[in-house]
Amino acid sequence: MKKALILIVMVVFSLVAVSASFAKPAKCPQPRKTKSAPGSIAKKDKTAKANAKNGKAIYMKKAKPMACKMCHGVKGDGGGKLGGALKPAPRNFACKATMKKVSAGQMFHIIKNGSKGTGMVGHKKTLKDKEIWDVVKYIRSTFVK
Ligand code: HEC
């Protein structure tokens, strides 16, 4: 009897763990809590000379305190492991309807300074400007279609 109970508890726990690791994509169109960058920055775009490959390494692994994929997901759709737990949800870069309002400069500004009142932290101290443009290029060339 006791053994059966332990087994049931174990099965339930593993199911919960499995479902949590398959976070769903965020909504599309998606509301944005993030404020607009100042116009002069929003219009900047230095992705032409940026390195998308280095951007990928940052997105998938190197970013501190956490890889971008943990929230924004490996597919960039906001379906990262932690994404489902966040309110507002992480940006869904694969959502065209929402991303057409988000310029490269806007992304640069938020990645650098963070977005107040959301889980998006600034990376001013951990990424150089050049590295931020690399990750902007990776996201825009890979997920934003
Ligand atoms: C802890 C979870 C988390 C991590 C890690 C994270 N983000 Fe975010 N991100 C968010 C949330 C939440 C928002 C705000 C969504 C909103 O505005 O409603 C956001 C917003 C953004 C935006 C703003 C888009 C806009 O609408 O203006 C960009 C760009 C972005 N993230 C890129 C990144 C990059 C690049 C990394 C890695 C260097 C990263 N994020 C890491 C959760 C995260």
By the 8 A CB rule, do 112 and 129 touch?
yes
pLDDT at 15: 56
The mean of the pLDDT values for the chain is 92
C-alpha–C-alpha distance, residues 90 and 87, integer Å: 8
pTM for the structure as a whole: 0.89
Domain residue ranges of the chain, discontinuous segments joined by + = 23-142
b vs e for 7-32, b when ≥16 Cβ sit within 10 Å of the residue's Cβ? eeeeeeeeeeeeeeeebebbeeebee
> Is the per-residue pLDDT at 121 higher than 70?
yes
Give the pLDDT mean for 77-90: 95
Across 11-20, 24-33, 124-133, least confident range: 11-20
Right CATH for 23-142 from 1.10.268.10, 3.40.1710.10, 3.40.50.10860, 1.10.760.10: 1.10.760.10
- The protein residue whose alpha carbon is closest to atom 12 in ligand 1 is 90
Where residue 8 falls among pLDDT bands split at 50, 70, 90? Answer: low
- The protein residue whose alpha carbon is closest to atom 14 in ligand 1 is 90
C-alpha–C-alpha distance, residues 79 and 74, integer Å: 8
Rounded to the nearest 10 degrees, how much is the dihedral formed by the CA atoms of 121, 98, 25, 73? -40
By the 8 A CB rule, do 13 and 19 touch?
no
Per-residue pLDDT reduced to its tens digit, 63-74 = 999 999 999 999
Q: Is 86 in the pocket of ligand 1 (CB under 6 A)?
A: yes
Per-residue pLDDT reduced to its tens digit, 86-107 = 999 999 999 999 999 999 999 9
